[in-house]
């Protein structure tokens, strides 16, 4: 026996064949989204130069473009890293929620819906700001290095206070 468990060989073979197919599917979704972005941009330009300019429609189209940009950005990260970026999904949720509010108009919403949307946006904003969603890119060679050696040109500077004795963040 070569030391590999039978399921490992199966997983390697499945990964070798299924990941490129999945990448092609994601690439197709990305191309379809680019087509939708071009169509939306053309509609936005047409609306801007029409005789009757509806501000709500223009803002909704701009926010829809931002939603599409966030989805394309999510797909690009997926193609590069083969993982779903949760922080992009949270940003996408915030923009999509704001778009729906603009489409309906805040005055047309029931007070319960306004409170629910406010709580949702506050939770998403807090998750984005205080959650540990953004992972610093650490190469495999740096993963085993001591913490001080890992921080280089690619690492983000931390804004959290650090305990000088232990080197840990004071808020974790």
Three-state DSSP state, 30: helix
pLDDT score for 40: 92
pLDDT score for 4: 59
Please name which of 83, 36, 84, 81 lies closest in space to residue 61, comparing C-alpha atoms.
36
Phi, psi of 83 (to 5 degrees): -150, 155
Rounded Cα gap, residues 41 and 39, in angstroms? 5
Q: Mean pLDDT for each 10-residue chunk of the chain (172 residues)?
A: 68 86 93 94 88 83 88 90 85 87 82 92 90 57 45 41 44 39
Rounded Cα gap, residues 116 and 109, in angstroms? 11
pLDDT score for 99: 84
What six digits make up the tokens of 8?
């490992």
Question: How crowded is the C-beta side of 64, counted as CA atoms within 13 Å?
Answer: 18
């Amino acid at each position: 026996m070569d030391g590999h468990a039978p399921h490992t060989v199966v997983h390697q073979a499945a990964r070798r064949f299924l990941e490129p197919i999945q990448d092609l599917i994601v690439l197709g979704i990305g191309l379809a989204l680019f087509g939708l972005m071009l169509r939306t941009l053309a509609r936005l330009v047409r609306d801007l130069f029409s005789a009757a300019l509806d501000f709500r429609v223009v803002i909704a189209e701009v926010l829809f473009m931002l939603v599409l940009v966030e989805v394309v950005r999510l797909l690009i990260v997926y193609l590069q890293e083969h993982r779903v970026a949760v922080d992009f999904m949270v940003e996408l949720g915030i923009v999509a929620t704001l778009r729906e509010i603009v489409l309906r108009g805040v005055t047309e919403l029931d007070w319960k819906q306004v409170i629910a949307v406010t709580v949702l946006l506050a939770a998403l904003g807090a998750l984005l700001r205080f959650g540990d969603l953004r992972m610093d890119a650490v190469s495999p060679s740096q993963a085993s290095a001591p913490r001080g050696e890992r921080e280089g040109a690619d690492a983000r500077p931390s804004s959290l206070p650090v305990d000088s004795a232990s080197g840990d963040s004071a808020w974790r």
